Amino acid sequence: MKMRLSLLAAASILFAATASAADLNFTPLKPSGIYAVGDEVGWTVTPASGTTAKTTYSYTVLNNGAMEIAKGAFDLSKGSATISLKLDHPAMVYVTIDKTGAPPPNKPTPAEANKINASLKALLSKNDASLQPLFDKYPDFCLVQAPCGMATPDTGPSPMPEPHVATLGAAVAPNQIQPSAPRPADFDQFWSGKLADLAKVPMRPIVTEIAAPLPGIRFYKVQLDSLNSHVQGYLAVPLKKGPHPAMIQYQWAGVYALIPWNCANRAAEGWLCFNVSSHDMPLTSDNGVPKNYYEIGNQSRETSYYLNMYLRDTRALDWVRTLPEWNKKVLVVTGTSMGGHQSLVTAGLNPGKVTAVLVNEPSGGDTQATLNGRMAAYPNWPVSDPRVAETARYFDTANFAAHITAPTMAAIGFIDIVCPPSSVFSAVNQIKAPKEIIPMVESNHNNFTPDKQAGWLQRSEEVFATLLHGGKFVPDQSVSKGP
């Protein structure tokens, strides 16, 4: 069971966040956390109840999560303090707060970890009822570490959050943030050729009905032929009379068994839902491909692991469009992190075939970020190698996004270190279709701060419900168009 990869370290980060909340309160100068170029960007800091005013704090300000542009210190002897600065260019602002001369906050003890683990499970189950059966089935499963409070699991290429007293984020003219490198001149030609090659491969669907996780639906294991690989996924179909609106779910990063409940719950609501594995491997396996798949073939666009992944995603879309159960009106692609990444790519490769794109903190954008003094996004292409840098440009979500014709919603965590906000804005800003940005000012990546995902959870469910019942998704463009 590999849910650990999606929830890893959430409890320890929540522990640190709880500690910081007990010390300090931060009030942004603009409640939205979004500023214009030249505005004063900042926060008023006040002590929380019981905090001593004698403590001195230091802070560091990073431009786009990577380049230090300011630092300073403050205490609360006068009752409050201010952290502020001005930027003359579009950027994301990332601030870390620490106690001066003090070590960073400790990790929780095993007893504390066990307590946080239980609380975190309750929180996650409240937000996503499909998780409760898993927690019941695996009562000893630990979201902090395994065993709880002892070992540190493999985290893949993404950075782990460093413990700080607090971390803050703000945006300066984010709708103007652009990718670090232009699209390759032959980008469209390359992908048109690959789609033409894919079209020559018959789908040969193998659809096997299996026991449904929930009543009121039919449930199937699906395999499709793709170019040099196979699509693997679960299809869930409502028993009530169709046809139905369709949803394709793409998966977050990691190598894990596909969770049946993801699509089963949507089918119970009335969706025709296809949950697509990121990998060509048995759906119940958690070790069917190398854990470092993101590194495979990364020195050539012809051998990159992401080539076949992206083509499988398009093959899944094309197959769903053939199903008689689909109402031929609504087809949504959606996902979180690498699932959002794949959703943007698929919508960009298939303009006109998707009717809405809903993504949460998508990865894969601004692949050249570190060459431009920005924090890199998953899969953290090692672009110091020129061959990798050139390959990465053909897989950057920003270079697909300009072709997206469907209305799009993207939730962005302002302190996300896995999919930094500058990387997401660089991609989403290329979309010419109407787009809605959900700014989650206090959110790191979803697995690190699940309690800060309310903006995504609430708004996405509103949009899903609207589309399910025949309504139209009209994006709120107040953030994407800027002031």
For position 120, what pLDDT does the model report?
78
Orientation of helix 10-23 relative to helix 110-127, angle to 10°: 100
Q: Which domain holds residue 357?
A: 176-468
| Sequential DSSP letters for 217-238 | EEEEEEEEEETTEEEEEEEEEE
For position 155, what pLDDT does the model report?
47
Does residue 201 share a domain with residue 74? no
Among 121, 156, 172, the domain boundary falls at: 172
How many domains does the chain fold into?
Answer: 2
Q: Are 154 and 18 in contact (CB under 8 A)?
A: no
Does residue 160 share a domain with residue 192? no
For position 390, what pLDDT does the model report?
98
Does residue 48 share a domain with residue 163? yes
pTM of structure: 0.87
Assigned domain for 152 exists: yes
Does residue 406 share a domain with residue 365? yes
What pairing do the DSSP bridges indicate for beta strands 206-210 and 217-226? Answer: antiparallel
For position 139, what pLDDT does the model report?
62
Does residue 396 share a domain with residue 358? yes
Q: Are 275 and 262 in contact (CB under 8 A)?
A: yes
Does residue 188 share a domain with residue 157? no
Does residue 198 share a domain with residue 238? yes
Q: Which residues pair with 231 in a beta bridge?
A: 224
Assigned domain for 328 exists: yes
CA distances from 15 to 10, 98, 131, 164, 370 (A): 9, 15, 21, 11, 30
For position 118, what pLDDT does the model report?
78
The domain that contains 440 carries what CATH number? 3.40.50.1820
User: What three-state secondary structure class fits 276?
Assistant: strand
Assigned domain for 357 exists: yes
pLDDT by residue for the chain (483 residues), tens only, comes to 223 333 333 333 343 333 344 579 999 999 999 999 999 999 999 988 766 667 889 999 999 999 999 999 998 888 899 999 999 999 999 999 998 876 655 666 666 767 777 787 788 777 777 777 767 655 655 665 444 544 333 446 777 777 888 999 999 999 999 999 999 999 999 999 999 999 999 999 999 999 999 999 999 999 999 999 999 999 999 999 989 999 999 999 999 999 999 999 999 999 999 999 999 999 999 889 999 999 999 999 999 999 999 999 999 999 999 999 999 999 999 999 999 999 999 999 999 999 999 999 999 999 999 999 999 999 999 999 999 999 999 999 999 999 999 999 999 999 999 999 999 999 999 999 999 999 999 999 998 888 899 999 999 999 999 999 999 999 999 998 876
Q: Alpha-carbon distance 236 to 214, whole Å?
A: 10
Assigned domain for 418 exists: yes
For position 151, what pLDDT does the model report?
39
User: 213: cis peptide before it, omega within 30°?
Assistant: no
Does residue 336 share a domain with residue 427? yes
3-state secondary structure 155-206: CCCCCCCCCCCEEEEEEECHHHCCCCCCCCCCHHHHHHHHHHHHHCCCCCCE
Lookup: tokens for 471: 């309504």
Among 123, 157, 172, the domain boundary falls at: 172
User: 260: cis peptide before it, omega within 30°?
Assistant: no
Lookup: tokens for 227: 């170019």
Assigned domain for 136 exists: no
Does residue 334 share a domain with residue 235? yes
Assigned domain for 343 exists: yes
The domain that contains 83 carries what CATH number? 2.60.40.1930
Does residue 218 share a domain with residue 163? no
For position 110, what pLDDT does the model report?
65
Does residue 224 share a domain with residue 77? no
Assigned domain for 258 exists: yes
Does residue 237 share a domain with residue 343? yes
Assigned domain for 345 exists: yes
User: What three-state secondary structure class fits 39?
Assistant: coil
For position 7, what pLDDT does the model report?
36
Q: Which residue has the tokens 């693997």?
A: 232
Listed in sequence order, the DSSP H helices in 350-475 are 386-393, 397-401, 421-428, 454-468
Q: Alpha-carbon distance 391 to 306, whole Å?
A: 10
Q: Which residue has the tokens 């993801």?
A: 262
